[in-house]
Structure 1
Amino acid sequence: MSTQEPGVSVRSLASSMALHHGIPLDDIVTLGNWSSSTTFHNHYRRQHMSMVDFSRALLGSPPSSFPLVGDELFAPPDDEDIFYDAQATLD
Protein backbone atom coordinates (compact mmCIF):
# COMPACT_ATOMS: atom_id res chain seq x y z
CA MET A 1 0.00 0.00 0.00
CA SER A 2 1.44 3.29 -1.07
CA THR A 3 0.86 6.82 0.12
CA GLN A 4 2.25 8.15 -3.19
CA GLU A 5 -1.03 7.54 -5.04
CA PRO A 6 -3.05 10.67 -5.76
CA GLY A 7 -5.91 11.08 -3.33
CA VAL A 8 -4.68 8.46 -0.88
CA SER A 9 -6.43 8.58 2.47
CA VAL A 10 -4.19 8.04 5.47
CA ARG A 11 -7.31 7.32 7.53
CA SER A 12 -8.35 4.63 5.05
CA LEU A 13 -4.85 3.18 4.92
CA ALA A 14 -4.44 3.14 8.71
CA SER A 15 -7.89 1.63 9.21
CA SER A 16 -7.21 -1.09 6.64
CA MET A 17 -3.88 -1.92 8.25
CA ALA A 18 -5.49 -2.04 11.70
CA LEU A 19 -8.13 -4.48 10.40
CA HIS A 20 -5.41 -6.57 8.74
CA HIS A 21 -3.56 -6.78 12.07
CA GLY A 22 -6.60 -8.00 13.97
CA ILE A 23 -7.98 -4.83 15.55
CA PRO A 24 -11.76 -5.34 16.02
CA LEU A 25 -13.87 -3.65 13.35
CA ASP A 26 -16.02 -1.86 15.95
CA ASP A 27 -12.89 -0.23 17.40
CA ILE A 28 -11.67 0.81 13.95
CA VAL A 29 -15.05 2.36 13.09
CA THR A 30 -15.16 4.25 16.40
CA LEU A 31 -11.53 5.43 16.49
CA GLY A 32 -11.48 6.24 12.77
CA ASN A 33 -14.69 8.23 13.08
CA TRP A 34 -16.31 6.23 10.27
CA SER A 35 -20.05 6.79 9.87
CA SER A 36 -20.59 3.01 9.87
CA SER A 37 -18.74 -0.24 9.32
CA THR A 38 -20.63 -0.60 6.03
CA THR A 39 -19.23 2.71 4.76
CA PHE A 40 -15.72 1.61 5.67
CA HIS A 41 -16.11 -1.81 4.00
CA ASN A 42 -17.78 -0.56 0.83
CA HIS A 43 -15.73 2.54 0.10
CA TYR A 44 -12.46 2.69 1.99
CA ARG A 45 -11.13 -0.75 2.88
CA ARG A 46 -7.97 -0.85 0.79
CA GLN A 47 -7.41 -4.60 0.95
CA HIS A 48 -10.84 -5.11 -0.62
CA MET A 49 -10.03 -2.63 -3.39
CA SER A 50 -6.68 -4.28 -4.20
CA MET A 51 -8.33 -7.68 -4.57
CA VAL A 52 -10.47 -6.56 -7.50
CA ASP A 53 -9.23 -7.98 -10.81
CA PHE A 54 -10.47 -5.29 -13.18
CA SER A 55 -9.25 -7.09 -16.31
CA ARG A 56 -11.14 -10.25 -15.51
CA ALA A 57 -14.20 -8.34 -14.30
CA LEU A 58 -14.42 -6.25 -17.47
CA LEU A 59 -13.29 -8.79 -20.05
CA GLY A 60 -14.79 -11.91 -18.52
CA SER A 61 -11.64 -13.98 -18.88
CA PRO A 62 -7.92 -13.47 -18.48
CA PRO A 63 -6.23 -11.65 -21.37
CA SER A 64 -3.94 -14.64 -22.01
CA SER A 65 -6.95 -16.63 -23.22
CA PHE A 66 -7.67 -14.24 -26.09
CA PRO A 67 -6.34 -15.43 -29.44
CA LEU A 68 -3.47 -13.51 -30.96
CA VAL A 69 -3.13 -12.56 -34.61
CA GLY A 70 -0.83 -15.54 -35.25
CA ASP A 71 -3.32 -18.02 -33.77
CA GLU A 72 -5.30 -20.38 -35.97
CA LEU A 73 -8.53 -18.49 -35.31
CA PHE A 74 -7.22 -15.54 -37.33
CA ALA A 75 -5.70 -17.58 -40.17
CA PRO A 76 -7.69 -16.79 -43.33
CA PRO A 77 -9.02 -19.68 -45.40
CA ASP A 78 -7.11 -20.28 -48.65
CA ASP A 79 -10.02 -19.30 -50.89
CA GLU A 80 -10.64 -15.84 -49.41
CA ASP A 81 -8.98 -12.54 -50.23
CA ILE A 82 -6.56 -11.21 -47.66
CA PHE A 83 -6.94 -7.55 -46.73
CA TYR A 84 -4.17 -5.64 -44.98
CA ASP A 85 -4.27 -2.50 -42.91
CA ALA A 86 -3.26 0.58 -44.91
CA GLN A 87 -0.33 1.18 -42.58
CA ALA A 88 1.08 -2.27 -43.30
CA THR A 89 1.40 -1.40 -47.02
CA LEU A 90 3.30 1.87 -46.42
CA ASP A 91 6.48 0.17 -45.22
Structure 2
Amino acid sequence: MNGMRTMLTLRVAAAAEAVSLALLLANLLTVHAGWITSLGGPTHGTAYLVTIVATWQTPLAAARRARLLALVPGVGGLLVLRRLRGREAAVPAP
Protein backbone atom coordinates (compact mmCIF):
# COMPACT_ATOMS: atom_id res chain seq x y z
CA MET A 1 0.00 0.00 0.00
CA ASN A 2 1.40 3.40 -0.86
CA GLY A 3 1.55 6.27 1.62
CA MET A 4 -1.41 8.25 0.26
CA ARG A 5 -3.73 5.25 0.29
CA THR A 6 -2.61 4.30 3.79
CA MET A 7 -3.26 7.82 5.07
CA LEU A 8 -6.73 7.80 3.49
CA THR A 9 -7.44 4.44 5.13
CA LEU A 10 -6.22 5.82 8.45
CA ARG A 11 -8.45 8.90 8.16
CA VAL A 12 -11.56 6.87 7.35
CA ALA A 13 -10.88 4.27 10.05
CA ALA A 14 -10.15 6.93 12.68
CA ALA A 15 -13.42 8.70 11.90
CA ALA A 16 -15.38 5.42 11.96
CA GLU A 17 -13.75 4.48 15.26
CA ALA A 18 -14.65 7.77 16.94
CA VAL A 19 -18.19 7.95 15.54
CA SER A 20 -19.00 4.35 16.39
CA LEU A 21 -17.76 4.84 19.95
CA ALA A 22 -19.87 7.98 20.32
CA LEU A 23 -22.94 6.11 19.06
CA LEU A 24 -22.31 3.19 21.39
CA LEU A 25 -21.93 5.48 24.39
CA ALA A 26 -25.01 7.50 23.45
CA ASN A 27 -26.95 4.26 23.13
CA LEU A 28 -25.69 3.08 26.50
CA LEU A 29 -26.72 6.33 28.19
CA THR A 30 -30.17 6.50 26.57
CA VAL A 31 -32.30 3.68 25.19
CA HIS A 32 -29.76 0.84 25.14
CA ALA A 33 -31.17 -0.69 21.97
CA GLY A 34 -29.72 -4.12 21.32
CA TRP A 35 -29.56 -3.71 17.56
CA ILE A 36 -27.38 -0.60 17.89
CA THR A 37 -25.00 -2.51 20.12
CA SER A 38 -25.00 -5.48 17.74
CA LEU A 39 -24.07 -3.30 14.78
CA GLY A 40 -21.93 -0.72 16.53
CA GLY A 41 -19.72 -3.07 18.54
CA PRO A 42 -18.23 -4.98 15.61
CA THR A 43 -17.99 -1.77 13.58
CA HIS A 44 -16.04 -0.08 16.35
CA GLY A 45 -13.79 -3.09 16.86
CA THR A 46 -13.00 -3.39 13.17
CA ALA A 47 -12.30 0.33 12.84
CA TYR A 48 -10.01 0.13 15.89
CA LEU A 49 -8.00 -2.72 14.38
CA VAL A 50 -7.79 -1.05 10.95
CA THR A 51 -6.57 2.14 12.63
CA ILE A 52 -3.78 0.25 14.37
CA VAL A 53 -2.68 -1.57 11.20
CA ALA A 54 -2.84 1.57 9.05
CA THR A 55 -0.79 3.51 11.60
CA TRP A 56 1.91 0.85 11.66
CA GLN A 57 2.02 0.87 7.83
CA THR A 58 2.28 4.65 7.55
CA PRO A 59 5.88 5.72 6.93
CA LEU A 60 5.29 8.98 8.82
CA ALA A 61 4.33 7.04 11.95
CA ALA A 62 7.77 5.52 12.36
CA ALA A 63 8.07 7.28 15.71
CA ARG A 64 7.21 4.97 18.57
CA ARG A 65 4.87 7.52 20.16
CA ALA A 66 2.61 7.69 17.09
CA ARG A 67 2.32 3.92 17.03
CA LEU A 68 1.51 3.79 20.73
CA LEU A 69 -1.17 6.46 20.30
CA ALA A 70 -2.96 4.17 17.84
CA LEU A 71 -3.52 1.72 20.67
CA VAL A 72 -5.75 4.16 22.58
CA PRO A 73 -9.31 2.89 22.07
CA GLY A 74 -11.86 5.29 20.63
CA VAL A 75 -9.69 8.29 19.88
CA GLY A 76 -6.31 6.76 19.07
CA GLY A 77 -6.72 7.25 15.34
CA LEU A 78 -7.60 10.91 15.78
CA LEU A 79 -4.57 11.40 18.04
CA VAL A 80 -2.30 9.78 15.44
CA LEU A 81 -3.72 11.98 12.68
CA ARG A 82 -3.15 15.06 14.81
CA ARG A 83 0.44 14.01 15.47
CA LEU A 84 1.13 13.25 11.82
CA ARG A 85 -0.45 16.44 10.47
CA GLY A 86 2.71 18.48 11.02
CA ARG A 87 4.99 15.76 9.65
CA GLU A 88 2.91 15.32 6.50
CA ALA A 89 3.48 18.93 5.50
CA ALA A 90 7.22 18.66 6.16
CA VAL A 91 7.71 15.67 3.83
CA PRO A 92 8.16 16.70 0.17
CA ALA A 93 5.88 15.09 -2.40
CA PRO A 94 7.54 12.57 -4.76
Do these two structures clear the TM 0.5 threshold for a shared fold by scoring above it? no
Higher Rg of the two aligned structures: 1
Of structures 1 and 2, the one scoring higher in RCO (CA 8 A, sep 6+) is 2
TM-score in terms of structure 2 length: 0.23
